Amino acid sequence: MSETGRNTVLEDWEVTLVERKLQEFSESVDGVSAVVIASVDGFALAQAATQPSSGERLAAMTSAMLALASAVGRELSLGTMDVLMLEASEGKVLMQSVILPRGSLLLMAACGQRSVIGHVLWSARECGRKIQAELAG
């Protein structure tokens, strides 16, 4: 089982299923270099198209960034935070929540500068929906 502290978040079979969905996502979008599903407290639970050693760091950063973005959204009365996008000179990162009945997961996708962010966003949302459907039922 993938665990975060004392709380089990995903069973082994769920990790396998989620990694399959992440792999499908990474293969469907040009330029994706890393995809990670993390717990809200920043632990990598599943990943694809990334080196295993970097998954934990990416998960921790995703958790911190989404927490900060949520705080900004609350401060500005923007409602619930859905997606955070970052664009840098050499690439782009998309982070989003994946809401499950038992709690939230975080999805992070890193891609190259030439990736079309609209396609990345649409594909990430579809990946999140597929994960929700598979784990809900």
Architecture of domain 2-136: 2-Layer Sandwich (3.30)
Taking only Cα atoms into account, the Rg of the chain, rounded to an integer number of angstroms, comes to 14
Strands 103-112 and 7-10 turn out to be unpaired
CA distance linking residue 64 with residue 70, whole number of Å: 10
Q: How far is CA 61 from CA 5, 64, 73, in A?
A: 17, 5, 18
Residue 95 CB-half CA count within 13 A = 25
| Tens-level pLDDT at each residue, the chain (137 residues) | 444 443 447 899 999 999 999 999 999 999 999 999 999 999 999 999 776 668 888 999 998 998 899 899 999 999 888 899 999 999 999 999 998 888 889 999 999 999 999 999 999 999 999 999 999 86
Closest CA to 55 of 33, 86, 34: 34
The dihedrals phi and psi of 108, each to the nearest 5 degrees, come to: -125, 130
Q: How many CB atoms lie within 10 A of CB 63?
A: 19
* 60: Cβ contacts below 8 Å, ≥ 6 apart: 38, 42, 43
pLDDT the model gives residue 53:
64
Task: Find where tokens 């990736």 sit.
Answer: 115
CA distance linking residue 133 with residue 60, whole number of Å: 25
